[in-house]
A and B are shown apart, each in its own frame.
Chain A
Amino acid sequence: MFPKIFQRWLTFGICFGLLACLQQAPKNASSKSPLSGAEGTKAGAGVLALQEPEVSTLKRVRPRLLGKSLAKALNLNPQGMCLELGKIPCIDLVHKVALGGMNAYGNSQYQFPQSPGITSPIAFDRVILSACIQRAQIDLSNTAEAFIYKDLKLSIDGRLVKDAAIDAALDRLYQKAFLRDPSVQEREALKDLYEDIYHTEPNGAAINWMALSCYAVLSSVESVFY
């Protein structure tokens, strides 16, 4: 349909465009999913490091964004995702300022904290761990309908049966959290985590791994900033 010269120019243009996109990646880093870090890297491929722009656009995930993103990533009710003593909301109340939020009405605090405090990473951990435990419990109750840990099989003594469902679950976890697949190394690290958990505490190793693999991924720095 097109003359050959145009086909060549078209091919060259596509290649040039792809190259330009790759070079543009750092500038687009701030426009990715709030809980995501790098742009998609396929499993098995080498990790594609981004080049940090001279003027950093990195921002800390604030409480409201954290709550919404986490609830969406794990398909949980944001109101019940993390409650201290089973009734006091973590994100909107207990840890709001530690998570980088402000409390204008309750505490006359009209600006976001300039920097994280000593309780910030701990509060972040509590929120993520609570949500991950919920997700693991729900998924384990019916793995066929699970949101993350779908079709995982357990042996009679409560161990995970090693099959493709594990890889699929980890892919799903990374896709929901960061809009990308895990690298081979990341997958292996999380599978090794299961072995470590099993050797330390065989009882309940499967559910503990489900909760803690989710926690290890979602409490990483990649979740803290966008």
Chain B
Amino acid sequence: MSLWIDSLLAVLAVFLAVRCLLAPTLPQCVFLFFAFGLTLALAWARLGAVDVAIAEAAIAAGFLGVLLIDALRDFSRSRSTGEGGDRPSRVSQGLVGAGVLVFLVVAIEAVWRVPNGGGLTALAADNLPQSGVDHPVTAVLLNYRSYDTWLEVGVVLMALLALFATGGREYFCRPVVRAVDPLLRQVILLFTPVLFLVGAFLLYLGKTEPGGAFQAAVLWGAGGILLHLGGWPVFASMAPWLRHLLLTAGFGFFLLLGFLFMAGGGALFEYPLAQAGLLILVVETLAALSIAAALTAIFAYFNGMSAESAEPFTPASS
């Protein structure tokens, strides 16, 4: 039975990926991408990596999907400016296809022949008592390799700055006021606290079970995006200093804590065992908050981009 499910998922993932690449119109492409993301999430769950499955479903299918649909709306509006570029010739298409095929065959062969190196699973489990948490994935992310996680939290912030750079402005526009369905507004009001609680639960769960900062952040970010769409642009209309504090809290506090313990004679990100559990929870909470803020900011910024003439919340005068 499980073999059937696994084979079905494997075939479905490849099929959806190919269909997505070959889809003739952009909307089809986007929705196939959704379906592909969800299939991948299921595959991760089948592989026993529930944390990755949640992250895949929430970020790749959920958050990216929302951004893509938002972009799609802008595309359909400016359709009149011209349809696509010139298509590559059949010969070059064939050559690229053949090249990709050869690459895939060689890659699969190489992956097939990977000798079993054992990995670090046993070592990570052995050191759990010294890490301050009870779940090996959380121990890897926030203690053994916290330096990588710290830089990755920073990458989310840098992505937002990169978006500011491409958009040519560093402030958020008032969202285009559309008639919002009163029922929708009620549903959003109902959902926001639920999303917040489920996010907090996932965050706390990370101590012992699959879950953690990135998963919680996506749920909180979803809450922020829903509020924005419902006509309460909470994040975008915040005072700039508060907004910056939210965006930098995770990355900054992580580093501050690292510097503090380094001043005490330890290494960067070395936590004393007695406080490690608590410190990791605080660091995770702030990181989740910052990532959620960055995700909301990315959406709010995109959403404001479609209305070029919209007035800013904070004028850019210096």
> Is chain B a partner of chain A in the same complex?
no
Interface residues of A (CB under 8 A from B): none
